Chain A
Amino acid sequence: MAALAAVTLLSLTACATDEPAASPSGSASAAGSGTGEQSKFFVQADYDAELALLDAAPTGPADKPWEQVLNPTMVDTAKYKKNGPHKICFSNAALNNPWRQVGFKTMQAEVEAQKSRIKEFVHVDAEGKDQKQIADINDLLGKGCDALIVSPNTTATLTPAVEAACQAGLPVIVFDRGVDTKCPVTFINPIGGYGFGHVGAEFVSQKMKPGGKVLALRILPGVDVLETRWSAAKVAFDKAKVDVVGVEFTDGDPAKTKKTVDDYIQRYGTIDGIWMDAGAVAVAAVEAFQDAGKPVPPMNGEDQLDFLKIWKDKNLTAIAPTYPTYQWRTPIIAALRILDGQQVSSPWKLPQPTVTQENLDQYLDPGMPPLHYAMCGCTDLPGYPQRWK
């Protein structure tokens, strides 16, 4: 009896799934309509600005992109001029992912490279907690720092803490994620999420076979930096009238990614393009095709070494837009320039290079660990490569 009841429920659940099934297969024929509604994080003006920056020519030394600036607007910093050596303090949002790990090592190496000018470097890790970071910044203000670098955990919540730091009179430099105030001397970050999402989506739409099916893999909904990547990709796919057969969340989990991609291969026979908003699961997606005995379609990843290796080894049709970890060098350079009273650009927009088939070999260092980010700009820094292993 119970068994029958259970069967009834399960088959009802299964039958109920008939209805939504009609819509994806129905919409599959209307190309470009599989991308759903535009993200509420999408801001047209920001999107236009970022896409324009992709083509802008940077000023600064060509071999040092972490010192380059796109469309610079210089600000005066004479009032911060101070004799060295300096004590530089850094309030860090978190170290909880490989990107931040690589970035922080790069920053430490930059500090070492400048050790004649920096007498002390204080780092406080907020462990991904807003409240801790607010307390951290407050503590640092009493420690006699000559300059304060902040990588905020979240934008809105950290804004008052950053404002308080500005009022204390020392130069404040914000990088990576921003804050809702103009009070820091400068805000350093690369072009951003729209640029990232656009580059990958445009490549996939151009390289895949016409009329093919694209699967979009996203980490999580509702995170601004990831939403901008997806929303730019959506615009590109809609414009190219690409048939996006699925937009799935992977939680950054390779096992879930592999199952999801495998499910789509089973359902559609094959998938002709893969777009993703972050490279962490790129290798899992490639493996899903390999293990199913299918050719790996045109796809994007990121500049993590595991993906670059498999790209080279398996001769994939791929591209890797980046959110370069070399941006962790720039705040130290900026702090020292500000303490010298030199002008710096505010905002300081860094170029956001893309790894392509042509320059792949330049970024692929087979000796580096799989989760290393190639765009670290760290090969000339003290301790390379051992520090990053």
Chain B
Amino acid sequence: MQTVQPRSLPLRVPRVRPGGVLPILAILAVLLVLVGIRQPDFLAPSSLMSFLGRSAPIILLAAGQYFVIVSGEFDLSVGSLVTAQVVIAARLIDSDPARTWPVVLLLLAFGALVGLVNGLVTTRLRVPSFITTLGMFLILVGAVYLWSDGAPKGGLSEEFRRFGRRAFEDVPLLGRVPYALVVLVVVAVAAVLLMRSDFGRTLVAVGDNPRTAELSGVRVWRTRTVAFILSGLAAAVAAILLGGYSGVSFQAGAGLEFGAITAVVLGGVALGGGRGAVVGAMLGALTLELLFALMNFYGVSGALRSTVQGGIILLAVAVSATRSSSR
């Protein structure tokens, strides 16, 4: 804020580890204070819980995108994958509760399959991931359009929708805890454990320097392909929550890929890979959503959101590039 005067600050204080979560925590704290000043009610447990619940899909997507970005690639297909999943779910379930679980499993499998294809095309056919996943984006958009004749059919069962819409009621201290939040916490814990495992270290090493990783015996292509599969799975879970939250729509996933990439970059993860924490990426998504909520509280037009998002991407990448060159 205004206390920050670039010249007067000693350059080595505070010592921030590159790719650490401290910066994003600081930003989040500042935003929370600003929200608290403008809209104290927002920080009450019930409304905070509902906010976290409805932010769960984008946080999940940020975690998925993190795996891909930290390994040195991009996944632009997640937004259209979410749309495809929601439309597929509605058509297959067709309001029949009995089909809920089979369709949930099918969505997860489909998400993994799309990730697998993205990964194999990128690593084995050596198509840059930017192009691979852009192609996948277009393929999914077109396929969904063709399959549904341009308008979604069928409907989601209430059983399917409850994941994104319902909550555990009357939880002590917290009140209403959305199922989506529980799903998010479980996935977040799994993601952190995964990043602490050998696989996680390998993933970061691959993003940092694929050549070195290759020479030390890592199968780079396999590691990166797994990262894409994880992103596809995250998109599947996000689609289940998002479809549950708002019902079937053709716009369900529109723009989510950019939201996820912005969140990851904001969370201190270096584009190009090799640096950053999965917690940072998820906090980045939370911060982004909180920023949008704050903009709303201050009466800023929703149309400015994409502008702000673009500004954040440019700034965060520029800052990170400056920092890595002065390393």
* Chain A interface residues toward B at CB < 8 A: 1-11, 13-15, 17-18, 20-21, 23-25, 94-98, 100-101, 248-249, 251-260, 262-263, 266-267, 269, 283-284, 287, 291-292, 306, 369-371
Is A8 within 8 A of B153, CB to CB? no
B272 surroundings in chain A (CB, below 8 A)? none
A262 surroundings in chain B (CB, below 8 A)? 50, 54
Least CB distance from B81 to A in Å reads: 15
Is A14 within 8 A of B298, CB to CB? yes
* Chain B interface residues toward A at CB < 8 A: 1, 4, 6, 9, 11, 16, 22-24, 26-27, 30-31, 34, 39, 41-42, 47, 50, 54, 95, 145, 149-155, 165, 242, 245-252, 254, 266, 268, 291, 293-303, 308, 311, 315-316, 319-320, 322-323
Is B30 within 8 A of A2, CB to CB? no
Given contacts A5-B319, A266-B47, 12 further A-B pairs with CB under 8 A are A1-B11, A2-B320, A4-B23, A6-B266, A7-B23, A13-B311, A94-B150, A95-B150, A96-B151, A252-B250, A253-B251, A369-B155
Is A8 within 8 A of B251, CB to CB? no
Is B298 within 8 A of A18, CB to CB? yes
Is A1 within 8 A of B323, CB to CB? yes
Least CB distance from B214 to A in Å reads: 30
Is B4 within 8 A of A7, CB to CB? yes
Least CB distance from A98 to B in Å reads: 4
A248 surroundings in chain B (CB, below 8 A)? 302
Is A254 within 8 A of B247, CB to CB? yes
Is A253 within 8 A of B151, CB to CB? no
Is B246 within 8 A of A255, CB to CB? yes
Is B322 within 8 A of A8, CB to CB? no
> Chain A: interface secondary structure?
helix
Is A267 within 8 A of B34, CB to CB? no
Q: Nearest 7 pairs between A and B by C-beta?
A: A3-B23, A96-B150, A253-B251, A255-B246, A254-B246, A17-B298, A2-B319
| Docked pose: A292 CA to B26 CA in angstroms | 30
Closest Cβ neighbor of B34 among chain A residues: A14
With contacts A255-B245, A257-B246 taken as known, whether A3 is within 8 angstroms of B150 at the C-beta atoms is: no
Least CB distance from A376 to B in Å reads: 15
Is A20 within 8 A of B298, CB to CB? yes
Closest Cβ neighbor of A101 among chain B residues: B151
A8 surroundings in chain B (CB, below 8 A)? 1, 4
With contacts A6-B316, A262-B50 taken as known, whether A101 is within 8 angstroms of B302 at the C-beta atoms is: no
B54 surroundings in chain A (CB, below 8 A)? 258-259, 262
B11 surroundings in chain A (CB, below 8 A)? 1
Partner of A249, one of B16, B42, B247, B302: B302
